[in-house]
Structures are given as structure tokens and as C-alpha cells.
Amino acid sequence: MTNPKDKLIVALDLPSYNAARALVNRLGDTVSFYKIGLELVFSDGLSLASELKQEGKRVFLDLKFLDIGNTVERAVASAAALGVDFITVHGPDTKTLQAAARGRGDSQLKILAVTVLTSLDQSDLDEQGIPLTPGALVLSRARIAHNAGVDGVIASGQEAAAIRAKTSPEFLIVTPGIRLPGGDTGDQARITIPEEAIRDGANHIVVGRPINAAKDPKAAAEAFLARIANA
């Protein structure tokens, strides 16, 4: 059985290096995998990423690249040189994803295609002129990602089972928008609880505010790990 710690990714969605470093220190050995996003990258987050790798942690850079192929390829190559484990690229088309795959080279970096942000719902897609439901668009983009040869997708747990059925056992499904029953949803529109996401095929769940805003982050992380183990 996979260690539950391998499945939990704690999002360091914090405003400064010092705040993120303090949380990592407080969590200690309870957490082995961290996500660094745009906010922290601009506050010395890449230095923290290097430190975490040196400490034996796994690191997910959530930068959601989307640009012309040449730019995406070079940006992914730079990320691969840092030695991080996961990187995100928006996944609306094959060209972008194949450029990211080229940029990875022979490194062990896993490329994850962002399907539909978990903060978006049907009204947001309607506004964008997309004539699909969120679930249908997620599945369409997951197929594009799978066929393009990247390693997996970022998708809500609500779509995990359908993605798993239409791709392969090795295809990674990383699920944000995770909350405990009765928890504050914040700006998330399509949420799931940890057990549902894992049982439906998610390889990893990403948890931010329910841990990093908790009075006792370590106890909160342990509660999520227990739910993963029960799943």
C-alpha cells in the first residue's frame, strides 16, 4: 500500500518565504510533499524549493505555463534544472503540452496539464463561450494531455473517476479543491473530500488553507493523512 504521506501535497500558499519556512518547520516529518505557487515564487519561493529538495522533500511548482511553444519549452527546461518533481502547464492544446514534454528532456520532472480550475463552474464556462459542462471539458482536456504524452492532469475529484476510466493506470491525477465535510469552501466551486478523491482514482490531493490556516497545522495534516489511509 502506498504511504499516505506520498499522496498528500501541502500547498504553501503563503505571502513570504519566512511564513512558508515556518510552516514547513512546524509540520516537520508529517509532510513530505509541498506545492509552491505564483504568490510564493515572487517571495523567494525558488530558494525554498531548492532547500526543500536538499532536505529530502518533494516539490511541485504550480506555475501554470501557457505561451508559445518555444517559451513553454524553455521555461520547463529551467524548471527541470531545479530538480523539482512536478510542474503545471495549461492544457488546452497539444502543441503547448508537447513543447513542455520537449523541455523536460531526460529529467524526472512530471508534467501536469491543468484542465479546468476548481474555482470555475458552469457560469464561468458560459461566459468564456465554451459550450461544454466543466466535467466534459475536463475529460476532453485530459484526453488531449494523455495523447500528448505528458504525465497527468490537475482536475477536481469530481472528475477523477471519469479521467481514470478514459486514460491509463499510470496517468497521474492530482486533485485540488479538497475540503473536510463542513469545511469552508472559500473560492472553490467544485470540491471533494479526501476519501472520495482517492477512491475515485486521484494519485495526490492538494490541500492548502485547511492546513496552513489551521490553529494546529500538524494536527490538521495528520487528520488528512488518516482520511487518505482510510480510503
**Catalytically active residues, by annotation:** 64
Q: d(Cα 117, Cα 125) in Å, to the nearest integer?
A: 11
Q: In angstroms, how far is CA 75 from the centroid of its own chain? A: 18
Grid cell of 188 as nine digits:
472553490
- Would you tell me how many other CB atoms lie within 10 Å of the CB of residue 17? 17
Residues near 117 by beta carbon (within 8 Å), at least 6 away in sequence:
none
Grid cell of 165 as nine digits:
476510466
The answer to whether the Cα torsion of 199, 204, 205, 211 is positive or negative is: positive
Give residue 103's identity as a one-letter amino acid code. Answer: G
58 in Cβ contact with 109 (< 8 Å)? no
Q: Judging by beta carbons within 10 Å of its beta carbon (0-12, 13-18, 19+), is residue 32 exposed, middle or buried? A: middle
Give residue 67's identity as a one-letter amino acid code. Answer: D
